Amino acid sequence: MPIRITRRGALFGATGLAFAAAACSSGPRRPEPEAQTGPFRHGVASGEPDQTSVVLWTAITDDAGGEYVFQLAADESFETIIFEEREERTYVTSNAISTFKTIATGLEPGTVYFYRMLFNGISSPVGRTKTLPAGAVERFNMAVCSCSNYPAGYFNAYRELANTPDLDLVLHLGDYIYEYSADGYASDEAENMGRVVDPLHELVDYGDYARRHALYKTDPDLQAAHAAAPWLMMWDDHEVANDSWTQGAENHNEGEGAYDARVYSAMRAYHDWNPTREPADQIGTARIAEIGDLATLVMTESRLVARDEPMDFSTFPIADDADPDDPANQQAIAEWRANEIGRDDREMLGAAQIAQIADAFEAAASKPWRLLGGQVIMGRVETPNMIEALPGWLKFIVAQTDDLAWGYITRSQFDIPFNLDAWDGYVAERERLYNAVRASGGDMIAFAGDSHNFWTNRLTDDAGRQIGFEFGTSSITSPSPFERVPAPGVSFSRLIEEKNPDVIRHNDRAKGFIRVTVTPEAVEADFVTVSTIRRRGYTPGSDSRWRVTRGPGGLELGVI
């Protein structure tokens, strides 16, 4: 449905927001950005391109009405304007911040454009965008990212992403914001870094979510990343609440009101503050991007459409400290995995979305590549035996101080799944997805976020047949679950790789994103890292680089 230029008040003032400039050079000693003034303190963004159109977005601070003009041009100096939308508005009273969004139409496929908004003659920053290509495509460049927790550190990885040359598309896989209060998750150093969240309390209603999105959009590194290329975005859980599903979330209780009202408020704010095409119900289903004759990309929705409640270990059938070698205990765990985790009716995407993926991949059978953007890790990952791996002194400390962590460590003796909120908690539907992919095209390359770790995984079905490969991106700032365990000399990444034949590479500490290059011959993935998120100066690096090609027996993976 076409989007006209709109004005939505964010229901709050500018007090407490650290407005910052979008144009700063990266480097190991990058200075603190100067505060940006004027009406465009939240930058500009574009998103969800197709071959002839793209969504344009901005926000205006201290909006008191007047003339609003969206412009898109073939050149950065705006001498050749391709699209223009103009509107006059008169307000009785001013609104502190208003968001604006439109769809620029009538564009050419695979073409770079520049865009801006004029407010009463004042120009916004200029953004670069690009339509999706049509026909023959020799190269397509993407950046894949997720999990940007504002109080956890500086968005240096977004800055490095913005430095990527010839970037065609940014694929954001979710956790764009986090819903926690100022003293919540990953906020230990927030005050020292000047990154205390707004509002201070947990997000519940529309005004809360809008204020948090507005805070994020003042970050200069995020602004630079948005201005560099169009984004194709999908939420994960923290855009609403931790471990969200269709009927609730781990971080939602009755005192916070009706869950469906919270979801609607969160999604309304998400669309108001991002360059998205808005489904009628605010959620919709999978998004499909056709990359000419090169690839079809499907971005899945895995939280609010069909997901059943994520499992936890409350139904684990034996005591955490039971004998792992006892045949009766082994049998109980096998039955638990089959009858609880493996229940056939458990869904994450739902039958309709799997059918949508299958149809898109079948239509792309003649293309070299079928790409799937998801939120959580799809590959099979079992937890290594921490009782054997961890030093005795550390086990003693954890046992005395952290019941939850100690329970996880002791259960690791029993070959338990690494993360039940990921696809390992929805194994029957994963098999249905694999069968659909195989029937419609044969293979795929998947991308995932959520875990705050880098992954290279082989994707195999229950019979051990390869369906493709998966590249999981680390976070922009969110901490890895392994960072809280001070175990010198213990490499959790190595333990996970040794435990799991399908895990080819795992990095449990680095922060960054994935640069992806797609050509007819190969899909290459570079795990880009930043040296620190504790200060604005950083040094970029690379954890590893991977190349997928098509051999006589199917997809083949190599190290670059």
Looking at 242-391, list the stretches that DSSP marks H as alpha helix, in order from N- to C-terminal side: 259-272, 327-336, 351-363, 386-389
Give the mean pLDDT of 244-264.
97
CA dist., res. 433 & res. 370, Å (int): 14
**According to the model, what pLDDT value does residue 17 have?**
30
pLDDT band at 34 (very low <50, low <70, confident <90, very high): low
Question: Strand, coil or helix: what is 222?
Answer: helix
Does the pLDDT of residue 425 top 70, yes or no?
A: yes
Q: What is the DSSP letter of 107?
A: P
Q: Which domains are present in the chain?
A: 8-284 (2.60.40.380), 313-518 (3.60.21.70)
- Average pLDDT value over all residues in the chain: 92
pLDDT band at 18 (very low <50, low <70, confident <90, very high): very low
Give the mean pLDDT of 426-437.
98
**According to the model, what pLDDT value does residue 203 have?**
98
Classify strands 454-460 and 540-551 as parallel, antiparallel or unpaired: unpaired
Rg of the chain, C-alpha, whole Å: 23
Does the pLDDT of residue 517 top 50, yes or no?
A: yes
Does the pLDDT of residue 310 top 50, yes or no?
A: yes
**According to the model, what pLDDT value does residue 36 have?**
67
Which one is predicted more confidently, 306 or 35? 306
**According to the model, what pLDDT value does residue 3 have?**
47
**According to the model, what pLDDT value does residue 33 have?**
54
Give the mean pLDDT of 67-95.
93
CA dist., res. 130 & res. 112, Å (int): 4
Whole-model pTM: value is: 0.93
**According to the model, what pLDDT value does residue 25 have?**
34
pLDDT in tens, 371-417: 999 999 999 999 999 999 888 988 898 888 888 788 888 999 998 99
Least confident of 57-61, 316-320, 453-457: 316-320
Give the mean pLDDT of 440-446.
93
Give the mean pLDDT of 38-44.
95
Residue for token pair 């859980």: 237
pLDDT in tens, 478-491: 999 888 777 778 89
Give the mean pLDDT of 52-69.
95
> What count of residues does the chain have?
560
pLDDT band at 6 (very low <50, low <70, confident <90, very high): very low
Does the pLDDT of residue 26 top 70, yes or no?
A: no
**According to the model, what pLDDT value does residue 10 have?**
40
Does the pLDDT of residue 59 top 80, yes or no?
A: yes
pLDDT band at 29 (very low <50, low <70, confident <90, very high): very low
Give the mean pLDDT of 307-331.
93
Cis peptide before 199 (omega within 30 of 0): yes
Does the pLDDT of residue 154 top 80, yes or no?
A: yes
Least confident of 200-204, 311-315, 355-359: 311-315
* Distance set, CA 165 to CA 76, 143, 454 (Å): 16, 11, 22
pLDDT in tens, 83-131: 999 999 988 777 789 999 999 999 999 999 999 999 999 999 999 999 9
pLDDT in tens, 174-188: 999 999 999 999 999
**According to the model, what pLDDT value does residue 8 have?**
45
Does the pLDDT of residue 1 top 70, yes or no?
A: no
Over pLDDT 70: what percentage of the chain? 94
Do 363 and 297 contact (CB within 8 A), yes or no? Answer: no
> Measured between alpha carbons, how far apart are the two ends of the chain, in Å?
43
